[in-house]
Amino acid sequence: MNRPFNFSAGPATIPLEVLNRAGAEIADWHGTGMGVMEMSHRGASFGEILNGTLATVREVLAVPEDFEILFMQGGGLAENAIVPMNLCGVENPKVDVAVTGSWSQKSLTEAKRYADVQLAFDGKAHQFHTVAPTGDWALRPDATYVHVCSNETIHGVEFQTPPDLKALGITAPLVIDCSSHIASRPVEWDKVGLAFAGAQKNLGPAGVTMVFVRKSLLDQAMGICPSAFQYKLVAANTSMYNTPPTYGIYMVGLVFEWLKAQGGIAAIEAQNIAKTNLLYGAIDRSDFYRNEVDPAFRSRMNVPFLLADETLNERFLAEAKAANLLSLKGHKSVGGMRASIYNAMPLSGVEALVSFMQDFERRL
Ligand SMILES: *Cc1c(COP(=O)(O)O)cnc(C)c1O
């Protein structure tokens, strides 16, 4: 097999060790004579898989005990509705949203169906190239929650540290869409009220969504919230209020075991920094390529870049593909290129991309 380097933004590359292990176990999990997909979610074997996955996630991400860890469905976009339905069952719910790119824009639009929503920060005024200091945001002291997307997958804008609301005297919980950089760096849980992430960027296959929610936030669901999406019910049933995405949970477990074997979050973060330095360094040293994001907010996971001569885009993509470097086309809303370099992208993949980029530039 000639495995290419896959720079897709998601669903995205999964560690080969994980795929091989899943392959070896596909029809017979641990001598049961049954594949994980075929097992009852109520049986002992799946119970072992679920509990093992929860324990590994809690350990690797150092999730404090006052957070519930949930496996849900519907992806990041469904959480844009599920979060307000779970938190806005209070009088005059108010949601403040910082719009730093396409994903938080969608969160803002969806939250309007459930609450009085305020645009706390508008990155559009800065072409989504930077984020103003949190102290300059329009935050209401009586907000029900504040929403941010900590890594904007399309615009390549990442918070290096989550907003510190407490330091601003704001007691509202911070809700974070961390779909595209979860498990790429340590989480500052003391700043977080709730965090959610679809699995298909950094955790495994599409179809499973992880939610980390403070236990103190479980009692403010709206009456209209569907039971299967109520965090409190899902938590009380260990993510098995209804049939959970069993195979996805198993895969997430394998990915977290792989992370642990890599040396955990500290080791993967060091590797992500090395990959990022290499790629942004190459872009910055060249007049041929450019990335326009404020260096303080550049994403370690999604690196959008433009060619100085945009008429070369198709040729760049075709030659990259021939060199086994796939899915580098930028999102249609921003154009150009985007290299998604999640945890599972090895340093050798970024080295191959950088040498291709330098070679392409030299040949022109
Ligand atoms: C991909 C992504 C989503 C949407 O995920 P779906 O599974 O398609 O709903 C939401 N937020 C962010 C930051 C993403 O990267």
Q: How is residue 262 written in tokens?
A: 């890599």
| 175 neighbors 147 (Cβ within 8 angstroms) | yes
Q: Which two tokens mark 238?
A: 């260990």
- Residue in 254, 209, 212, 253 with CA at minimum distance from that of residue 235: 212
Which string of b and e fits 220-253 if b means at least 16 CB within 10 Å?
bbbeebeeebbbbbbbeebbbbeebbbbbbbbbb
Q: Is 2's pLDDT higher than 90?
A: no
> Over 90: is that where the pLDDT of 118 sits?
yes
Amino acid present at 100? T
Which tens digits make up the pLDDT trace of 209-225? 999 999 999 999 999 99
201, 232, 275, 329: which is the annotated catalytic residue?
201
For 184-200, what is the mean pLDDT? 98
Please write the tens of the pLDDT for every residue from 310-336: 999 999 999 999 999 999 999 999 999
- d(C-alpha 183, C-alpha 321), whole Å: 28
**Does 189 participate in catalysis according to the annotation?**
no
Count Cβ atoms within 10 A of the Cβ of residue 52 and give its class: 0-12 exposed, 13-18 middle, 19 or more buried.
Answer: middle
Residue 154 Cα: closest atom of ligand 1 = 15
DSSP string, 142-210: T-SEEEEESEETTTTEE-SS---TGGGT--SPEEEE-TTTTTSS---GGG-SEEEEETTTTTSSTT-EE
Condensed to tens digits (0 to 9), the pLDDT of residues 255-305 reads 999 999 999 999 999 999 999 999 999 999 999 999 999 999 999 999 999
To the query of whether residue 287 is one of the catalytic residues in this protein, the response is no
What residues are paired with 329 via a beta bridge?
A: 337
Single-letter amino acid code for the residue at 115: A
Note the pTM of the prediction, 2 decimals: 0.98
Cα–Cα dist 105/152, whole Å: 10
- What is the Å distance from ligand 1's center to 62 Cα? 23
**Ligand 1: residues whose CB is within 6 Å?**
10, 75-77, 103, 149, 153, 177, 179-180, 198, 201
103 catalytically annotated: yes
Q: Average model confidence (pLDDT) for the chain? A: 98
Exactly one of 94, 96, 177, 258 is catalytic; name it: 177
Q: What gap in Å lies between CA 269 and CA 56, rounded to an integer?
A: 18
Percent of the chain with pLDDT over 90: 99
**CATH class label, 263-363:** alpha beta
pLDDT given at position 284 = 98
pLDDT of residue 364: 85
Q: Best mutation site among 106, 175, 179 for ligand 1, i.e. most ligand atoms within 8 A of its Cβ?
A: 179
For residue 251, what pLDDT is reported?
98
Which atom of ligand 1 lies at the shortest distance from residue 198's CA?
A: 7
> Tell me, what's the pLDDT at 1?
74
Could you tell me what percent of the chain has a pLDDT over 70?
100
For the chain, the domains span: 17-261, 263-363
Centroid of ligand 1 to alpha carbon of 363 (angstroms): 37
- CA 32–ligand 1 middle distance (angstroms): 35
Instruction: Say which amino acid occupies 268.
Output: I
Q: Which of 71, 77, 149 to mutate to test the pocket of ligand 1 (most atoms within 8 A of CB)?
A: 77
Fold classified for 17-261: Aspartate Aminotransferase; domain 2 (3.40.640)
Which residue has a Cα nearest atom 3 of ligand 1? 76
Catalytic residue among 29, 103, 137, 258: 103
Q: What confidence tens digit (pLDDT) does each residue in 36-57 have?
A: 999 999 999 999 999 999 999 9
For ligand 1, atom 10, name the residue with the nearest CA: 76
Whole-number Å distance between alpha carbons of 153 and 204: 16
